Amino acid sequence: LGLTIQCAQCHNHKFDPLTQEEYYRMFAFLNNAHEANIAVYTPQEEMRRAELFRRMSEIEADLQHRHADWAERMAAWESSVTANQPDWTVLEPMGEELVSGGQKLLPQGDGSLLAQGYAPTKHTAKISSQTALKSITAFRLELLTHPDLPLGGPGRSILGTGALTELEVEAAPADAPQKMARIKLVTANSDVDLPEAPLEAIFDDRSNKKRVTGPAAYAIDGKEETAWGINAGPGRRNLPRKAVFVPEKPIAYASGAALNIYLKQNHGGWNSDDNQNCNLGRFRLAVTDAAGAAADPLPAAVREILSIPRESRTSVQTAAVFRFWRTTVPEWRPENEAIEALWREHPQGSSQLVLAEMAGGRETHLLKRGDFLKPQQRVEPGVPGFLHSFADDLPRDRLGFARWLVDRRSTTTARAIVNRVWQGYFGVGLVSTSEDLGSQSEAPSHPKLLDWLAVDFMDHGWRLKRLHRLIVESATYRQSSRITPELYARDPYNRLLARGPRFRVEAEVVRDIALAASGLLNPKLGGPSVFPPAPEFLFQPPASYGPKIWKTAADADQYRRAVYTFRYRSVPYPMLQTFDAPNGDFSCVRRVRSNTPQQALVALNEPLFIECAQALARRVLTESEASDEARVDALFRRCLGRRVSAAERRELLDLLAREAKHIADGWANPKLIANRKAEALPANVTPTQLAAWTVLSRVVLNLDETITKE
């Protein structure tokens, strides 16, 4: 914290005693997280889920109440399904690196392969392997979940689903692998043989062909339009699945078999750059020589519970077994159908990135010149040698690293935090380069104050609320922002703090001020990002790399605070970018502030700012006293938070009169100025009057003082 360590990604630090190896040793503390996202729900959706699960539980409880022998019946069923599973031999893929259609298939140590990197929409994965089995009677394909997949997988689509268009097999004797022959597969079954359903719209490939998903048999029917699908609906689509494929006759070779298995995945959309893939995410292949092999109908979680002695199971585990077993009882079909109907009401939810820590962490290597394609020696988690040592009793993980950072011997952490808080209030930190407290930074303007604040911050439990109160209640912060020629000559940048802070607010606040003053601001807190109006061409090539979705909000959501505005890394929101909001592709602890003509053009002409001026004019005319003087006073207080001076009032009233005459004489259309949405006029207000006040509101909203912190 507070050190420019980024340049050590490629070489030893040029100015501070930090080596490239120490950079990657620090990186190793953090290089242990999955790129995970999960399904999340709004409060209303959570209430809906709770209600659905309550009703499902009531149906199951009623079944148990009406059938007192359910436990004995379930135990008998359990005994019948625990001993009828064949032995499967996992096929280990051959080759160190498997590439399929541009995506990499990474071995996971358990025989499974994880698809990562580029995601093609149509491709065929070829998996080569060998087995010592002298007879193969069936092939099993397992689709497995993984935190690095969307919503956990087991597919790579944005829903965490996938589709298998065709599965094809070639076999040859292990001692003569060049004699490959095509194997005919005749039957297929899975634990989720869903009915035929059309593909979701996002997977449209513009072929105008009817493409569907359905049972596992669709993966061996030789048709490009059909596929085995696993989308069982929200709440149940992101679960491990399995399918078994049986050849026309056993594959028998005395020396064992060499195999090529082809997984066709052609049910993606037309644009691979727009999340339109419908690929398998993580999968594992296995073979058996048992007769009559079929897919285990039990979910993996239930099969795992059955391995636990009944007397050792928790009530939750017993309920999970019952939840599956009841679906196998024929006479309970009405109740099962009622529960299925409830599942169809389950909300879709949204995906949300989360931190999911790996069990063992990744191997971390020093990268030559920072190039991830050129890993060098492996490094272990560690800290720079010139700082305080890493205690032996600390775990070498994120938690241990965090404790090291907030150790009282840390020279940068507390200083960096208080300096950035100070920067938020005064526009510049006690050290102006808040991202760099190293040897090349500017010296602190008040070094003793910086150290005192840092020590006081630690002494009081690192309480940020107390730090904020300490600063805002200080005499230094409460000074006037007024400046005299003498003060300006001595301290033009206010580094000596002889006056209060004065600087333009951040980009998001510029927009929020206009919304708040006009009364349009939507005060709602939390929830998903919103899409306020923006030029449509920005999200289409060539302005954007690929076509992007921008569903403009049509209701009060478009007036939410700018912090909720959705932002693409490659297509920043234009208004915020103009007012110096940084891009979203890397962390920024100190924003630049500029004063450009483009900013004035945005604040004067951007549609939302025009709408704010129109709404502000209506508000002043309807909520203030009838005299123009009182309305000017109200307008000023609403935008600037202070009373208007006599000279300012005269200037604004003169502008109001000139604009009213200009509009009344026909030089401008009052409807275009003040009433583009054709709303009803306020009582006793003429179109000319509303237009003139809109012009005046636009002027006051664009005053430098309106968007300046003083």
Q: What is the average per-residue pLDDT within 171-181?
A: 95
Q: What is the average per-residue pLDDT within 659-676?
A: 87
In this prediction the pTM is 0.79
pLDDT at residue 242, as a whole number: 96
Confidence of residue 96 (pLDDT cuts 50, 70, 90): low
* Cα angle 684, 686, 688; round to 5: 155
Strand partners, 149: none
| CB atoms inside a 10 Å sphere around CB 493 | 10
Output 624 or 487, whichever has higher pLDDT.
Answer: 487
Gyration radius of the chain over CA positions: 33
Q: Which percentage of the chain shows pLDDT scores above 90?
A: 79
Q: Which of 353, 355, 378 is nearest to 27 (CA)?
A: 378
pLDDT at residue 74, as a whole number: 96
pLDDT at residue 272, as a whole number: 83
Q: What is the average per-residue pLDDT within 490-516?
A: 93
Q: Is 87 helix (H, G, I), strand (E, B) or coil?
A: coil
Strand partners, 128: 260
Confidence of residue 670 (pLDDT cuts 50, 70, 90): confident
Predicted confidence (pLDDT) per residue in 427-483, tens digit: 999 999 998 998 888 899 999 999 999 999 999 999 999 999 999 999 999 999 998
Predicted confidence (pLDDT) per residue in 23-75, tens digit: 999 999 999 899 899 999 989 999 999 999 999 999 999 999 999 999 999 99
Q: Has residue 677 got a pLDDT over 80?
A: no
Q: Are 259 and 163 in contact (CB under 8 A)?
A: no
Q: What angle in degrees, to the nearest 10, is found between the helix axes of 315-325 and 43-66?
A: 80
pLDDT at residue 80, as a whole number: 87
The whole-angstrom distance between residue 2's C-alpha and the CA centroid of its chain comes to 27
Mean pLDDT over each residue of the chain, to the nearest integer: 93
Q: Has residue 600 got a pLDDT over 70?
A: yes
Q: What is the average per-residue pLDDT within 528-542?
A: 90
pLDDT at residue 192, as a whole number: 87
Q: Are 180 and 171 in contact (CB under 8 A)?
A: yes
Predicted confidence (pLDDT) per residue in 556-578, tens digit: 999 999 999 998 888 889 999 99
Q: Which helix (H) or strand (E) holds 37?
A: strand 33-40
Q: Has residue 401 got a pLDDT over 90?
A: yes
Tell me which DSSP letter residue 560 carries.
B
pLDDT at residue 271, as a whole number: 86
CA distances from 652 to 631, 636, 644, 699 (A): 11, 10, 10, 9
What amino acid occupies position 647? A
Predicted confidence (pLDDT) per residue in 3-37, tens digit: 888 889 999 998 889 999 999 999 999 998 998 99
pLDDT at residue 552, as a whole number: 92
* The most confident of 96-105, 275-284, 683-692, by mean pLDDT: 275-284
Q: Which percentage of the chain shows pLDDT scores above 70?
A: 99
CA distances from 115 to 150, 155, 231 (A): 12, 9, 19
Q: Are 522 and 557 in contact (CB under 8 A)?
A: yes
Tell me which DSSP letter residue 280 carries.
B
The alpha-helical segments, DSSP class H, found in 359-474 are 398-405, 413-426, 447-459, 464-472
* Cα angle 286, 290, 296; round to 5: 60
Tell me which long-range contacts 571-578 makes (C-beta under 8 A, separation of at least 24): 571/538, 571/539, 571/543, 571/544, 573/532, 573/534, 574/534, 574/535, 574/538, 574/602, 575/507, 575/511, 575/602, 575/606, 575/608, 576/507, 576/508, 576/511, 577/507, 578/507, 578/602
The Cα–Cα gap between 498 and 88 comes to 79
Q: What is the average per-residue pLDDT within 186-208?
A: 93
